[in-house]
Amino acid sequence: MGKPTGFIEYAREIPADRPPLERLGDWNEFHLHMDGDKLQVQGARCMDCGIPFCQVGLLINGLACGCPIFNLIPDWNDLVYRGLWREALERLHRTNNFPEFTGRVCPAPCEGSCTLGSIRPPVAIKSIECEIVEKGWKEGWLTPEPPQVSTGKKVAIVGSGPAGLSAAAQLNRAGHSVIVFERADRPGGLLMYGIPNMKLDKDKVVLRRIRKMEAEGITFVCNTEIGKNYPVDKLFREFAAVVLCTGATQPRDLLIEGRNAKGIHFAMDFLTANTRAILDQNQDFIDARDKDVVIIGGGDTGTDCVGTSLRHGCKSVLQLEILPRPPLDRAADNPWPEWPKVFRADYGQQEAAAKYGRDPRVYLTTATRFETDKAGHVKAVHAVQVEWKKDDKGRFAPKNIPGTEKVYPAQLVLLAMGFLGPEQGLLNTLGIKRDLRTTIDAEHGRFQTSIPHVFAAGDCRRGQSLVVWAINEGRGAARECDRFLMGKTNLP
């Protein structure tokens, strides 16, 4: 695809980001956009590789290999190269309901599995994807497309994150009457309150798509929690089928001495309050201004806490990571086309380095206790270095290294250690079967729960995962829900 010799002639180029110190002064998106002519050149780098691993959507050693929603990547790379942007948008939407989301927040496992990436820098797939859909919005090609027919059947979607939105879009396309219930005050779930505005703009990007969905006939009901202010029996009485897309929002805690001190918060509470304050234009948030901030956890959520704390004007920021620092290049046991587990500096680390002169991450370190002042507020984090050794069952586990203890000042501690699974309240009320991980027991590909007319998709079924996997599952659950309702389905 693309130009046969493009991968030899052209170097990889991606859009620049706004300078770190400049973007710390606002909450606007930090990614810039690239001219269409330059992106056509990037599309030309797509090889006629024969077996495009970029779109296979496999799990290898537990990590995504290629695109989980099977985007037809070589097709739209070639169309962009030839200047056929509208055709590229149509091809992109065949598999992805929300490319403006994935083009901004997906870690791009497609690029990690790009065939060109086995010998040279991979094709700039994520950048091309994002610009295709943005050109579609700019040119007015993305207009509401209400369904042509109505089946007369009502479907409830519980949760409006990426899984819920994709399920809603597909079921609406099939002609069903779709109502999406969201317990928060705005739709979007993780996209609205779990990802900061500087990565994903709420009005210009998230609500823009939701407004289009509303114009297509989908109803969003916010401030409504099933099992609390909306009875389950009413849900089952009024809807022919239900799709649960409630996410995996039960945070992992750190139960060490001093955990109950003031000033220690879960990362999502910190990020959610901040986004809501921006949208509502008020000051009701957990403020990091002039504080020493310690973030425990080195993943994407931890990075978002770094970037948010810096924009508040924190005094210092430190990120404790229990795992070792990844290598600069692929290790021998991490070959292509697996996701490359290599060292990266994300936007938050880049910003901290620009402001303080160093990466905020400290590897192979864990907190051992929180020190408090006389008022019961956290004032320091006691930590120790660890090494990973096999236990008596042959499993690797962290072991504290005596003599490596350190004390870090902290007036704000943010716990960003991932999630244990879905909240159990609604699932208990439903009496729905769960697996050993407490996630909903529903086979991937069928998505049907122990209650025949109830389906499950996204993190509440598979556990904490990527936005792109949530879209995959939402589309799959919609397909099986449609089959259940109609006896057959034409949904992809």
Same structural domain for residues 367 and 273?
A: yes
**Which SS3 state, helix, strand or coil, does residue 356 take?**
helix
Distance CA 216, CA 170 (A): 11
For the whole prediction, is pTM greater than 0.85?
yes
- For residue 1, pLDDT beyond 70: no
CA distance 379 to 292: 9
**Amino acid at the residue 4:** P
**Whether residue 263 is found in the same domain as residue 395:** yes
Residue 147 lies in a domain: no
In a domain, 163, yes or no: yes
Strands 177-181 and 219-221: parallel
Q: Looking at the structure, do residues 39 and 120 belong to the same domain, yes or no? A: yes
Interior angle at CA 63, CA 57 and CA 64, nearest 5 = 20
CA distances from 183 to 39, 239, 463 (A): 40, 18, 20
Residue 104 resides in a domain: yes
Is 129 in the same domain as 172? no
Residue 219's domain spans which residues? 154-249+420-486
Over residues 260-269, the pLDDT tens digits come to 999 999 999 9
Of residues 370, 362, 366, the one with CA closest to residue 399? 366
Q: What angle do CA 78, 144, 151 make, to 5 degrees?
A: 110
Residue at which a domain ends, from 86, 106, 139? 139
Overall number of domains in the chain: 3
Distance CA 179, CA 168 (A): 8
Domain C-terminal end among 111, 139, 167: 139
Task: Give percent of the chain above pLDDT 90.
Answer: 94
Domain assignment of residue 148, yes or no: no
Q: Do residue 481 and residue 375 come from a single domain?
A: no
If residue 101 lies in a helix (H) or strand (E), which one and from where to where?
Answer: helix 99-105
Of 88, 111, 139, which closes a domain?
139
DSSP for 5-46, please give it.
THHHH-----PPBPPHHHHTTS-S--B----HHHHHHHHHT-
CATH of the domain at 78: 1.10.1060.10
**Does residue 244 sit in the same domain as residue 279?**
no
**CATH number of the domain that residue 243 is part of:** 3.50.50.60
Mean predicted confidence (pLDDT) in 34-60: 92
| Together in a domain, 382 and 431 | no
For residue 203, give both structure tokens. 């009005």
pLDDT at position 453: 97
Residues facing 297 on adjacent strands: none
Q: Are residues 333 and 473 in the same domain?
A: no
pLDDT class of 392 with cuts at 50, 70, 90: confident
Extract the tokens encoding 423. Answer: 């909240």
CA distance 37 to 43: 10
**Residue 212 and residue 169 in one domain:** yes
Judge whether 30 lies within some domain. yes
Among 125, 121, 227, 131, smallest CA distance to 181 is for 227
Residue 393 pLDDT exceeds 90: no
Q: Report if residue 95 sits inside a domain.
A: yes
Closest CA to 297 of 251, 241, 257: 251
pLDDT digits (tens, 9 = 90+) for 60-69: 888 889 999 9
H/E stretch holding 459 reads helix 459-462
Q: Does one domain contain both 242 and 124?
A: no
- In this structure, are 162 and 196 located in the same domain? yes
Residue burial 118-130, b: 16+ Cβ < 10 Å; e: rest: eeeebbbbbbbbb
Residues 371 and 276 reside in one and the same domain? yes
